[in-house]
A and B are shown apart, each in its own frame.
Chain A
Amino acid sequence: MAAFRSVSVTRSYEQVVDQVLARIRAGDFLPGSRLPTERELGDIFGVSRGVIREALKVLITLGAVESRQGSGTYVAADLTPMVSRALVLSARPEPGSLSDLMEMRAPLERFAVRLAAERRTAAQSRAISEAAETSTAAAAAGDWDTFGRADVRFHTAIYAASANPLLITVMGAIREIQQNAVALVSAVTGSMPVAAGQHVEIAAAIWDGDADRAERTMIDHITYATDAVISTLTGQEPHRFRAAERDIGDNARTPEPVGPAGR
């Protein structure tokens, strides 16, 4: 069936969609910037406003542009949701979906942190350390919300420092999917102070430009997060440290294994 589809003639609005995407990619239309009006776009692409309107509907659904009431159409400032939406749809939910996601996330996190240690600028390194310290203070205060935000900032800053735009997008998409999936079941898994301690260690390794150490620490961090999330979702060994240490959502580590060995 797929073969037949590619044979079919591309409709004119689809051609406009492809061309607008190509211009976004080439940097002619910048993220967050206002697109030309429907009439101007019609002139640019040599098609009617009706065709442009069709194309814009598709682009909005894709998440590539957004319409702001009374102000026009803008290129999306962040294209990550576009990828995560497509990824979510491509891998339909079934038992094991989240473990598939975590399985893919682990090597990418290791890789991102290696690149970050090798390539980070001084400012990026400071941002990573600052987020790690904020997560530590939040853990000490038992402030789950602040910790959660610092956690996202910490990891996002590492992706940014990897200086690999594809990795940044894919990791952003993976985290978004994971957060949505975990939020459905339970937002709390694992120990906040231990995770914060890991953050600080990773940040220090990145600061020192020590890719091997950064990677080793990240492996511990992610391995625990995977076990914690999956054991929470499967209902095995739930929340062992919850009462004692307060718990966190995404990335955490406890001193003892939570799930059964080999999980």
Chain B
Amino acid sequence: MSFRSVSTMRSYEQVVEQLTERIHSGEFKPNQRLPTERELGELFGVSRGVIREAIKVLSSVGLVESRQGSGTYVTANLTPTVSRALVLSAKPEEGSLLALMELRQSTEVLAARLAAERRDESEIGPILEAARATVAAAEADNMHDFEDGDVKYHRLIVEAARNPFLITIHAAIRDIQRDVSSRVVMMTGSMIMAADQHLRIAHAIADQDSVTSAAVMDEHLGVTIRALQGVLALPPEDRRQVRYLNTQQSI
């Protein structure tokens, strides 16, 4: 590597660092438009080329986004950045799904408890509705609709918990789960039972009964974890059979 490329990297890195700091400190807020390349160049005392370089990097990292014809904006949602980072620590293998479900269990039991304590009235309807959608899908034996409803239901609960770290981690976990579970049997336990648990948690949240909502959520994800442990204990050739056996009536 020549001296020249090293020094070029330094200046764009400094710009990246300073812009990141300003985004982090809240000086540049989500959805806010950044100054133009020229203005930034003057602010930092560097060429537009260096600024362009820095913007490119920030945009790949997911901190800013270019909107055509309108400029560069601070990104509102950084979840993809977290999941990209987190996904690196989960090897694409079957055991990862267990690790993932374990992490989900501990974060979502907390979410269920906090949601019951903190939800506002307007959040009860959508949570109940999502729970009922999974019940309907389970009764119709429609796994695809069940999964869609399931993702939405869990997301609404985590949002009602009002903890930004929890929201980000949960979204990242679901991203990774989608990615990892395609490799493994996800068919663990009954859809009907899971949907019933969804409804019980939803009612507990509506009643602000945080003890029940946390306990049922613990059981809800615990069922999946135990089933998954059972599947992973089987030799690989038998796991395939489990998949075929359970595809019709399970999650």
Contact = CB atoms under 8 A, between A and B. Distances in A.
Interface of A: 1-2, 4-5, 13-14, 17, 21, 24-27, 53-54, 57-58, 60-64, 67, 69-70, 72, 79, 82-83, 85-94, 97, 100-101, 103-104, 106-108, 110-111, 115, 164-170, 174
A164 B106 CA distance: 13
Contacts of A164: 99, 102-103
Contact of A89 (B78, B88, B163): B78
Interface of B: 1, 5-6, 9, 12-13, 16, 20, 23-26, 30-31, 53, 56-58, 60-61, 63, 65, 67, 73, 76-79, 81-82, 84-92, 96, 99-100, 102-103, 105-107, 109-110, 114, 163-166, 168-169, 173, 176
Given A64-B88, A108-B107, A167-B102, A89 B20 contact: yes
B60 A166 contact: no
Nearest to B26: A92
Task: Identify whether the interface residues of B are mostly helix, strand, loop, or mixed.
Answer: helix
Nearest to B114: A103
A88 B24 contact: yes
A89 B25 CA distance: 9
A1 B79 CA distance: 15
Contacts of B24: 88-89, 92-93
B100 A166 contact: yes
Given A90-B79, A93-B25, A110-B106, A170 B169 contact: yes
Residue in B20, B53, B102 with the greatest tally of chain A CB atoms within 10 Å: B102
Contact of A104 (B57, B58, B61, B165): B165
Contact of B16 (A61, A88, A111, A165): A61
A69 B7 CA distance: 11
B106 A83 contact: no
B84 A89 contact: no
